[in-house]
Amino acid sequence: MNLYSLEGVQQILGGRRVLDLEKLELEENKSYALLGPNGSGKTTLLHILAFLSPPAHGRVFFRGKAVDWKEKALTPLRRRVVLVEQHPILFTDTVLKNVSYGPKMRGLSFSAQKKIAEESLELVGMGEFGPRPALYLSGGEVQRVALARALACQPEVLLFDEPTASVDVENARRIEALILKIRKERGISIIFSTHRRLEALLLADEQIFLSHGSKIMESHENIFSGTLVQRGERHFFLTEEGVEIAVHTDLCGPARLWIHPEKINLFSRKPSGFEPETSLFPGRVLRISAERGKMTVLVDMGLPLYVRISRERLAASGILPGDRVSLGFCKEAFSVEKKPESL
Amino acid sequence: MEFFSQSLAEALSMILSMDQKLYAIIWLSLYVSFFATLFAAILGVPAGFGLAVASFKGKRAVITLVNTLLALPTVVIGLFAYAFLSRSGSLGFLGWLYTPKAIIIGQVILILPWVISLTLTAVSRIDLRYRRTALTLGATAFFASLAVLREARFGILAAVIAAFGRAIAEIGIAMMLGGNIKGFTRTMTTAMALEHNKGEFVLAVALGLVLLLVSLGMNILLQLAQGRYGERV
Angle ∠(A14,A17,A21) on CA atoms, nearest 5: 145
Closest chain A C-alpha to B223 CA, distance in angstroms: 17
Q: What is the pLDDT of residues A138-158, one digit of tens each?
A: 888 999 999 999 999 999 999
Distance CA B138, CA B197 (A): 63
Give the pLDDT mean for B197-205: 85
A176 and A236 housed in the same domain: no
Dist CA A149 CA B86 (whole Å): 59
Could you tell me the residue range of the domain that residue A71 belongs to?
2-216
* Pair B155, B57: CB distance under 8 Å: no
pLDDT-based confidence at residue B60 (cuts at 50, 70, 90): very high
What number is the average pLDDT over the span B154-178? 92
Measured between beta carbons, the chain B residues lying within 8 angstroms of A153 are 137-138
Label residue B228 by pLDDT band (50, 70, 90): low
A15 DSSP assignment: T
Domains, chain B, ranges and CATH? 2-231 (1.10.3720.10)
A334 forms bridges with which residues in the sheet? A259
Residues A59 and A176 in one domain: yes
The interface predicted TM-score of the complex, written ipTM, equals: 0.75
Comparing alpha-carbon positions, the chain B residue that sits nearest to A71 is B141
Mutate to test the interface with B, among A49, A78, A84, A97 (most CBs of B within 10 A): A78
Find the CATH number of the domain harbouring A285.
Answer: 2.40.50.100
Q: What are phi and psi of A106, to 5 degrees?
A: -90, 5
**Whether residue A149 sits in one domain with residue A87:** yes
Of the listed ranges A112-116, A296-300, B41-45, B109-113, the least confidently predicted one is: A296-300
Express as a percent the part of chain B with pLDDT over 70.
96
B228 to chain A, any CB pair closer than 8 A? The answer is: no
- Asked if the C-beta of B226 comes within 8 angstroms of chain A's C-beta atoms, the answer is no
CA atoms of A204 and A199, how far apart (whole Å): 8
Q: Is A116 exposed, middle or buried (0-12, 13-18, 19+ CB in 10 A)?
A: buried
Considering the domain architecture, whether residues A31 and A119 belong to the same structural domain is answered as: yes
List B90's β-bridge partners, or say none: none
Which tens digit of pLDDT belongs to each residue from B79-96?
A: 999 999 998 888 989 989
In a domain, A343, yes or no: no
Residues A172 and A260 in one domain: no
Residue of B nearest to A131 (CA): B233
- Structural domains in chain A (count): 2
Mutate to test the interface with A, among B125, B128, B133 (most CBs of A within 10 A): B133
Tell whether A198 and A53 lie within a shared domain: yes
Nearest beta carbon to residue A93 from set B143, B230, B233: B233
| CB contacts, 8 Å: A43 with chain B | none
Bridge pairing between strands A304-310 and A264-267: unpaired
- H helices present in chain B, as ranges: 2-16, 20-53, 59-69, 74-85, 100-124, 128-136, 141-151, 153-169, 172-173, 188-198, 201-231
Q: Does A182 lie in the same domain as A85? A: yes
Q: What is the pTM of this model?
A: 0.75
A3 close to A189: Cβ distance less than 8 angstroms:
yes
Examine the pLDDT at B232 and tell me if it is beyond 60.
no
Interatomic CA distance for residues A239 and A282, integer angstroms: 16
Query: In this model, does residue B231 exceed pLDDT 50?
Result: no
